[in-house]
């Protein structure tokens, strides 16, 4: 040791080292005073640290971002891609939920009537250049779908299979102006022919001029021979207005079709039907009337005023 | 006289410690950040006698041990800093060419900082601390040396002036 190598210096160094070793020993033996020193210093420092954090953390974050610039950019790109994927999956999930709901309702309908059905997704809404109202579905002859089979949704009749391919089929919608179906009125069992009009409404012409129709009557498919093209009992629509023109040979009525053709996504093709006619079992249940509370007020005459 | 001047330097260390714990610790920069207090303590030690270096190391080490972020037992930093302070001051003691040359001071402190941290790591292993990733430790040690090279020239004018104002008479004596 050069100039610092005197005994005093050595003694100081040794005593400091011994002190530090003493501190270590005390700490390792779990002496409370040592722990108290550290926690006490932290207690004193923490208010200053919290103020400094408020003031300097944005600056610190700025420097941190600079040093992590490449990684941050990569992270942003990754998060953007993840976000896009999640958004897409959310949309898909929403679509799937809607389809599931439709499928559930169509299966419920088919279950009541004991129809054997093949579920199918609508893959195309037909040609916009022609006037025919059709849809394409993703089920075809490979799935047992043949021409002249009834197509339904949870709400009722959609149409009839016009062409069948191995993996797809073309369905003529009930709203098509060339569409005709034998129909009957639920309850009264009057029969007639329902014709599409190119809109969400169709026209029902009764065959018997002795019967009468009224607004709100539910129209069902009458069924064809051998259940093709139409199975019996499928709900078609509801009478919205009746033509009571004097001198008319038969009564006609406007029918609002149950199926919503603009939002079709899942349908079912009836590939088999029970031998028995479900009759009116598929008539949609009307809305449950909400009871209106009634309040009775009893007027009690007050005593006659005294003069 | 020596003890009085040493005690006067304590508030300076306390201020630097406060800056380190409250402000510098807010910055998350490359390689685990920079320890302003460690650099300051070693630079201060490098400017004094070995006794002063050892005492400076003792005081600085005690403050570092009080930090909540310290994982080792109380006294570990004290022990390391006594040895580091004594060693760094012993190296340049009596050689005015060394102390008068700012580049020498930058280099010696830049070497001392990672070595001190390495010594702390090794002693910590003896006390049962976890080692962690070797690569991360290497990056942290190298970057601490680089940060020291960047910070010491900024600190040096203040430290040398304050140090000489406090200890010039003692050094001459």
Contact A235, A154 (CB under 8 A): no
Give me the residue from A1, A27, A59 closest to B74, CB to CB.
A27
Q: What is the ipTM of this complex?
A: 0.84
Residue ranges and CATH numbers for the domains of chain A are 7-61 (no CATH), 118-272 (2.40.10.340)
Contact A207, A249 (CB under 8 A): no
Residue B154 lies in a domain: yes
Q: How confident is the model at residue B112 (pLDDT cuts 50, 70, 90)?
A: very high
pLDDT in tens, B115-141: 999 999 898 888 887 776 788 888 888
Instruction: Judge whether A36 is closer than 8 Å to chain B, CB to CB.
Output: no
What per-residue confidence (pLDDT) applies to A1?
A: 46
Query: Between residues 13 and 32 of chain A, which touch chain B (CB distance below 8 Å)?
Result: 13, 16-17, 19-28
Residue B38 lies in a domain: yes
Does the beta-carbon distance from A53 to B50 stay under 8 Å?
Answer: no
Does the beta-carbon distance from B94 to A60 stay under 8 Å?
Answer: no
Residue B150, pLDDT above cutoff 70: yes
pLDDT in tens, A74-108: 888 899 999 999 999 998 888 888 888 888 888 88
Residue A3, pLDDT above cutoff 60: no
Using DSSP, state whether A221 is helix, strand or coil: strand
Residue B173 lies in a domain: no
What per-residue confidence (pLDDT) applies to A289?
A: 59
**DSSP letter, residue B24:** G
Residue B25 lies in a domain: no
Two structure tokens written together for B41: 């303590």
Two structure tokens written together for A94: 């929403």
- Nearest Cα of chain A lies from the Cα of B137 at a distance, in angstroms, of 18
Residue A127, pLDDT above cutoff 70: no
Instruction: Judge whether A1 is closer than 8 Å to chain B, CB to CB.
Output: yes
pLDDT in tens, A156-208: 999 999 888 888 888 999 988 889 999 999 888 888 999 988 788 899 988 87
Instruction: Judge whether A41 is closer than 8 Å to chain B, CB to CB.
Output: yes
Residue B17 lies in a domain: no
Contact A166, A141 (CB under 8 A): yes
In whole angstroms, what is the distance from residue B110 CA to residue B40 CA? 11
- Total domain count, chain B: 1
Residue B108 lies in a domain: yes
Instruction: Note down the domain range covering B105.
Output: 2-10+33-168
Q: How confident is the model at residue A256 (pLDDT cuts 50, 70, 90)?
A: very high
CB contacts, 8 Å: A17 with chain B: 79, 82-83
Residue B26 lies in a domain: no
Residue B37 lies in a domain: yes
Contact A186, A283 (CB under 8 A): yes
DSSP H/E element including A240: strand A235-243
Residue A151, pLDDT above cutoff 80: yes
């Amino acid at each position: 040791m050069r100039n610092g190598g005197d005994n005093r210096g050595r003694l100081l160094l040794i005593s400091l080292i011994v002190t530090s070793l003493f501190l270590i020993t005390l700490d390792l033996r779990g002496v409370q005073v040592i722990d108290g020193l550290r926690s006490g210093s932290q207690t004193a420092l923490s208010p200053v640290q919290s103020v400094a954090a408020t003031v300097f953390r944005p600056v610190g974050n700025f420097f941190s971002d600079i040093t992590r610039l490449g990684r941050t950019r990569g992270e942003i790109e990754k998060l953007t891609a993840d976000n896009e994927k999640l958004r897409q999956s959310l949309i898909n999930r929403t679509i799937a939920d809607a389809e599931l709901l439709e499928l559930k309702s169509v299966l419920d309908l088919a279950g009541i009537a004991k129809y054997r059905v093949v579920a199918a997704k609508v893959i195309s809404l037909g040609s916009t250049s022609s006037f025919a109202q059709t849809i394409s579905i993703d089920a075809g002859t490979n799935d047992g779908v043949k021409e002249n089979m009834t197509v339904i949704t949870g709400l009722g009749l959609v149409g009839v299979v016009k062409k069948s391919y191995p993996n797809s089929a073309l369905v003529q919608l009930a709203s098509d102006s060339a569409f005709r179906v034998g129909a009957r009125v639920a309850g009264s069992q009057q029969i007639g022919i329902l014709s599409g009009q190119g809109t969400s409404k169709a026209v029902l012409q009764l065959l018997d001029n002795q019967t009468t129709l009224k607004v709100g009557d539910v129209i069902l498919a009458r069924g064809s021979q051998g259940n093709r093209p139409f199975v019996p009992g499928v709900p078609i629509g509801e009478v919205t207005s009746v033509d009571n023109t004097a001198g008319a040979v038969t009564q006609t009525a406007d029918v609002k079709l149950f199926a919503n053709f603009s939002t079709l996504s899942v349908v079912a093709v009836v590939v088999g039907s029970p031998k028995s006619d479900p009759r009116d079992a598929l008539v949609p249940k009307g809305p449950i009337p909400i009871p209106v509370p009634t309040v009775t007020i009893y007027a009690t005459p007050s005593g006659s005023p005294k003069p | 006289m020596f003890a009085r001047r040493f005690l006067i330097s304590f508030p300076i260390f306390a201020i630097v410690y406060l800056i380190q714990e409250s402000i510098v610790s807010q910055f998350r920069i490359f390689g685990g950040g920079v320890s302003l207090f460690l650099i300051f303590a070693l630079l201060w030690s490098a400017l004094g006698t070995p006794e002063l270096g050892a005492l400076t190391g003792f005081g600085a080490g005690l403050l570092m041990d009080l930090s909540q972020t310290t994982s080792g037992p109380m006294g570990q930093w004290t022990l390391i800093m006594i040895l580091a302070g004594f060693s760094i001051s012993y190296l340049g003691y009596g050689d005015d060419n060394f102390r008068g040359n700012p580049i020498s001071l930058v280099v010696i402190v830049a070497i001392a900082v990672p070595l001190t941290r390495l010594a702390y790591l090794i002693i910590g292993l003896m006390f049962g601390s976890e080692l962690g990733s070797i690569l991360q430790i290497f990056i942290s040690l190298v970057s601490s040396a680089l940060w020291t090279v960047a910070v010491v020239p900024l600190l040096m004018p203040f430290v040398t002036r304050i140090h000489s104002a406090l200890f010039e008479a003692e050094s001459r004596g």
